[in-house]
Chain A
């Protein structure tokens, strides 16, 4: 099975900051990497698919990059509604697997 490792596990930042979250796969997954945002008490929501494609309706301040084993999610200018937990997921090989999450908190 493919293991997904996110870093950091938690992050404190301020409104307006540029933030980067990293996800590493235990083997190459090409660009079969998706990012989700989850707010407390809610289901995850798809943010980025296929490593760099913004899901319809997603704010343009979110971007994704990477391939093979190393991926990043960047928020160019944090907004108050962005404080949430972010998960990466590989959809290259079954079983699909998720990272452990990165909790983004207000500094």
Chain B
């Protein structure tokens, strides 16, 4: 069965950095685009970033562009999110999520599996 397991969340001061990981199993990771989505009480669900199945293309929400970097290691079935210059408003539960259809180029798809989420708290 498909499993996505996030890790790496925690408490960090404004301006700090964190690296999130998402370990995938139960499907052919290298043939599916992957996303990061975050959730806050105030702003609800917000798409953050997408990486194509082969790592050849990435997209970011404007609010994180230039600060966050998505990457993947298909040999390790793992997705990453490097978060730099963190702001208080980045505080959220971060989920990794899988494209529903394989070999999607642009990530414009439903998310058919989600991880359990990892909490990121940015606070002084």
Q: How many A-B residue pairs have CB under 8 A?
A: 56
Please give, as numbers and ranges, the residues of chain A lying within 8 Å of B107 by CB-CB distance.
Answer: 94, 96
Q: Which of B7-15, B42-50, B74-82 contacts A (4 or more CB under 8 A)?
A: B42-50
Contact partner of B47 (CB less than 8 A), chosen from A50, A55, A96, A99, is: A96
Please give, as numbers and ranges, the residues of chain B lying within 8 Å of A89 by CB-CB distance.
Answer: 45, 110-111
Q: How many of chain A's residues have a CB under 8 angstroms from any CB in B?
A: 24
Please give, as numbers and ranges, the residues of chain A lying within 8 Å of B114 by CB-CB distance.
Answer: 43-45
Kindly provide the distance from the CB of A24 to the nearest chain B CB, expressed in whole angstroms. 16
A32 to B106, CA, bound (A): 14
User: Which residues 69-124 of B have a CB within 8 angstroms of A?
Assistant: 95, 100, 106-117
Interface residues, chain B, with chain A CB atoms under 8 Å away: 44-47, 59, 61-62, 95, 100, 106-117
Interface residues, chain A, with chain B CB atoms under 8 Å away: 32, 34, 36, 42-46, 49-50, 55, 87, 89, 91-101
